[in-house]
Amino acid sequence: MSPTSSIWGSDLRSEATRRAVAGALGVAAWLGAVCAGGGAEAKVFYSRSEAVDLAFPGADRVEARTYALSDDQVARVETLARSPLHTKLVKLYTGWKGEEIVGYAFIDLHTVRTLPEAFLVVLDPDGVVRSLRVLAFHEPLDYLPSDRWYAQFDRKSLAEPLRVGGDIHGIVGATLSARATTRGVRRALALYEVLVRSGH
């Protein structure tokens, strides 16, 4: 992966600011704020539109729908994911080929150490991880896991532990990156369970 222009650059450097924006305005607005910034330090790999296009090769169309989760839905997602959900607004991408759904995707935004990472989790129609694609990583690249490490999540589902040090290998010197990614994948799988499997 090689960085592209910094459309994911951000001046949202403080944890308090990022959480306030995400909580008050939701992930969609948070993404807008990130995309608007310059930020020469940003490590950008794919734009949102590039990543979504790559997520569903052969799809005729990709639909994006934003959901406002109820308190009960948030509680269920957090229970399933074993991780907090920082916004009630969630965008679900659905890939279609004709009348057949070919997959789903969520963008997860989270803090690694003190700076943000964004990645796209792609699921097959049955809610199993198909791929994980890093969109932007603002921490030093020394803390960015390898593609081989990310590939551990392929074919994972909520039926598995998804725990660093268990079925997910840790990374020497990048434990926080490993844990943040694992929590993000669990959140995407939990959102699938609540929004898709439960019939929206």
pLDDT tens profile 86-115: 899 999 999 999 999 999 999 999 999 999
What was the pLDDT predicted at 82? 96
3-class SS letters over the chain: CCCCCCCCCCCCCCHHHHHHHHHHHHHHHHHHHHHCCCCCCCEECCCHHHHHHHHCCCCCEEEEEEEECCHHHHHHHHHHHCCCCCCCEEEEEEEEECCEEEEEEEEEEEECCCCEEEEEEEECCCCCEEEEEEEEECCCHHHCCCHHHHHHHCCCCCCCCCCECCCECCCCCCHHHHHHHHHHHHHHHHHHHHHHHCCC
For 173: left if phi > 0, alpha if psi spans -120 to 50, otherwise beta; the answer is: left
Mean pLDDT, the chain, as a whole number? 83
Residue 109's φ and ψ, nearest 5 degrees, are: -115, 130
pTM of the model: 0.80
Residues 6+ positions from 159 with CB-CB distance below 8 Å: none
Query: Using 50, 70 and 90 to split pLDDT, how confident is the model at 22?
Result: very low
Query: Using 50, 70 and 90 to split pLDDT, how confident is the model at 153?
Result: very high
Radius of gyration of the chain (CA): 16
Place of tokens 């969609």: 28
